[in-house]
Chain A
């Protein structure tokens, strides 16, 4: 546990979050709480088929139902253009985005939205949805990534040409993109190896499982201005997507981000917002749409199922000399799986001289995938980290020792090219090795201990922060980053540290698109890093202005008295909340006094900064887990769990620990029981939290955390991204533990009792 170091007064402490009380007392306004005068309620009609052509849609009966004000289909939306729009963390094809919100001529997955109703209450809207008649021509579906890659597979997009190693081809295929990263000569590398292990793995589709469903309220007023209230990871990204889909300018759209009940990458893409907008334009009323949990599972973006081949070779002394991987990821109904990120991450914890990774982005008749916490990396690490474990076993090495021997450090290269700056991977391995958990023997039958490591990026992108100084010496901080994991606190703490004032004197507000400058999504583990950077710069801007005013003030005082040399801002220092004159130690002024004097020293003081930081600090994690496997049932009990992570500087250690615990828990769920179960027609059959089995508190031990602080040299306070990497190691760590408990190597996720029992029965 990290504690405040002498270097900092605020950073490293554990204050209460500013939004906490309103959230636990039910006063916080979430998207579904929106109530506007005259508001109508919307409901979507969704496809019962995994793949079908829409021959006709008859909305007349639905429109005739009393209380129904509008029924819309894709034909009520502007015809979407087939072009890419850059959305910060991702780029999307506008046509695909629009056709995903409302299917145009084909439905591409069960749950694909086909039409929408606005009515005076939600029950009438629901009834009207049942009165819409759609004539479908049902088509064969491609449900599984390997099936979809076959030459004779049903084709989802007849107009989509495959890209092969960077070149667009004329081939129409579900494999929309194949790319390759290469470093060194893997062929030669494997010749050097004494041990080579090659295996194939399959992982199932999983959902982020955020507790709050997607929602959108839209009001298109008489002047043609569209206002949207929604739960999102980024108001500006919603603004841009809505404008693109509706063919209007971003200045015609205002987006207010409501409080958000979890996102994990799943609340970046828009689903309901453009539809609510079109319904509002047709009715002249505000329209609210809220998804049910079934719609969440069937109609939003999960993270992909995948098929992965990995081959790793090592010498007898434990040096990994070559590694190859092929990652086949399901994109869902439209291109854009996180396979690229998976390919970049798969071997990132290691310095391997010869590497090759092939990635395949494959469309299938399932919902369009979205980001999910370190998107793409968890699937990949499950495969690579179990093989590293097997190599260590064959060489008779401790699995952490082989990681220490081969671990990446400053100056080593990732497979896609970049050279690492200062990173803390080896420190996480060392922390795990030295930890009392790893040092304690694990005894008892059917028990095993496993370890695994993982890497995830940290991105910069763009942020804006404005700091308004109040007359009482507090400041109001306005930012555009949705607060999902305690970032109001972590950003306010960086401002307080820089301003030299108490944390409680910084009042943070998350503003919408009308209230703050452009800010990218809360995603890519960037907010505490990049928006925190902007808060640091905006705070410096405040101090700079105050130093100028202090100099001017003292100059005026001097003019009244004896004549002294003119002071400049450089002659004023600031520390511990006090401005001091370098030339006259008797002249001091506190931050509070400066704030109080603003009307007499030139008016309000506002500090502002935008950031687009490049010095990103990627993060590594190494996890240790003990399990017991019931040999009669195949059920895994997680006995003990310790997660070590290089967190850079932990601004608010409790929230960093919370991120690590949350990520580890999601990884445990992904590992053991979570999966979209499909029937042969391509329908998901477990679209509820009853049968989509996320872990409950009774399924988990305490997740112990070890914060390893290797500051990021690219940030004034050493911040790294911390929120995503903890989901990466758990499936592999559990697979390795299950192997030691059962003698069976796991090749599928989830490692459910059904799967493990089937493996135990194989001799």
Chain B
């Protein structure tokens, strides 16, 4: 492996100034489950690795019914799903956080890092989008917030500018009659990259049937995770039914624009987008109705 400097930043300002001075020769390390592998395989050349795990704001993990979930960008998956209140409140997030990599990977890997790696197939991103997550970014000119669906710009690329890093994520508290679900398709049952991943959320009206809000996000079918507005439009304002779910699934498949690669074909991915949209909506509905 190449040699590089390792700096464990203690404060937000220290990290920002290091990143600003080194430009693209520096990169943030949280769990390191992507970065170290990229360095070892020579896929990325760096002078400096900036560890953000010592920065208190990047390690926050809190929830209350007013402010929702505040999730530090360096918090590893296992801390999140082992928190009984958070894991019970956000089963749609846990669907993804409990299947990233494997048990060992989840001991290190952070949700923030999964987002910053900006893979179109990242497991946590579609469900973050379905949950209306906001990304808190620290930089030379202070903090700014970006919606999760706006964060990724291309495979491996995102909105972070020189000197900026992802500090934390804010996930709204689930409204009444909310349900969310994430599913991915992989040929095996673990240790794999999503061929397609879909995160869906629903909010039902007091009749427990009319959809008042819906968010459907698609992974691995475009250069970035997509927010399928067209699919949500097929549901909102209507009583939920197999027909409206089928219409949403069809709309989601309609906006998928995947590639052929060793993990799947274009045709297969478009087909699976419809299948997983249907299945995640059924799962979200069941949760919204408190059935599971």
Contact = CB atoms under 8 A, between A and B. Distances in A.
Q: Is B one of A's binding partners?
A: yes
Interface of A: 123, 126-127, 130, 294, 632-633, 635, 672-673, 677, 685-686, 689-691, 693, 695-696, 698-699, 752-754, 757-758, 761
B269 to A, nearest CB: 10
B193 A673 contact: no
B189 A696 contact: yes
Contact of A673 (B3, B42, B188, B261): B188
B275 interface: yes
A123 B1 contact: yes
Interface string B154-186: 000000000000000000000000000000010
Contact of B263 (A294, A632, A691): A691
B265 interface: yes
B187 A693 contact: yes
A699 B191 CA distance: 11
A691 B193 contact: yes
Given A123-B3, A754-B264, A690 B188 contact: no
Contacts of A130: 42
Contacts of A294: 41
B57 interface: no
B272 interface: yes
Given A126-B1, A672-B187, A673-B187, 8 more contacts: A294-B41, A633-B272, A635-B185, A686-B262, A690-B192, A696-B188, A696-B189, A753-B268
Contacts of A690: 191-193
A229 B286 CA distance: 60
Contacts of B272: 633
B271 A685 contact: no
A686 B263 CA distance: 9
B63 to A, nearest CB: 30
Given A123-B1, A123-B3, A677 B190 contact: no
A111 B11 CA distance: 45
Nearest to B3: A123
A753 B193 contact: no
A685 B262 contact: yes
Contacts, number: 55
Nearest to A675: B262
A698 B188 contact: yes
Contacts of A686: 262
Interface size class of B (residues with CB under 8 A): 20 to 34
B104 interface: no
Contacts of A635: 185, 187
Interface string B108-129: 0000000000000000000000
Contacts of B191: 689-690, 696
Interface string B179-214: 000000101111111010000000000000000000
Nearest to B274: A632
A374 B195 CA distance: 33
24 contacts: A126-B1, A130-B42, A633-B185, A635-B185, A635-B187, A673-B187, A685-B261, A685-B262, A690-B191, A690-B193, A691-B193, A695-B188, A696-B188, A698-B188, A698-B189, A698-B190, A699-B188, A753-B185, A754-B264, A754-B265, A757-B268, A758-B265, A758-B267, A758-B268
Contacts of B1: 123, 126
Interface string B259-292: 0011111011001100100000000000000000
Contacts of B187: 635, 672-673, 693, 752-754
B263 to A, nearest CB: 7
Contact of A699 (B42, B189, B275): B189
Interface of B: 1-3, 41-42, 185, 187-193, 195, 261-265, 267-268, 271-272, 275
Contacts of A632: 275
A695 B190 CA distance: 9
Contacts of A695: 188
A753 B275 CA distance: 14
A752 B268 CA distance: 12
A531 to B, nearest CB: 37
A672 to B, nearest CB: 8
A758 B270 CA distance: 13
Contact of B188 (A126, A677, A693): A693
A635 B279 CA distance: 15
Nearest to A752: B187
A686 B256 CA distance: 24
Nearest to A294: B41
Nearest to A685: B262
Contacts of B267: 758
Nearest to A753: B187
Contacts of B261: 685
Contacts of B275: 632-633
A693 B268 contact: no
A677 B262 contact: yes
Contacts of B264: 754
A761 B267 CA distance: 11
Contact of A123 (B2, B265, B268, B271): B2
Contacts of A672: 187
A752 B1 CA distance: 35
B62 to A, nearest CB: 33
A391 B107 CA distance: 53
Contacts of B263: 691
Contacts of B3: 123
A691 B262 contact: yes
A127 B2 CA distance: 8
Given A685-B262, A754-B265, A693 B2 contact: no
Q: Which of A633, A696, A699, A752 has the most CB of B within 10 A?
A: A633
Contacts of A758: 265, 267-268
Nearest to A672: B187
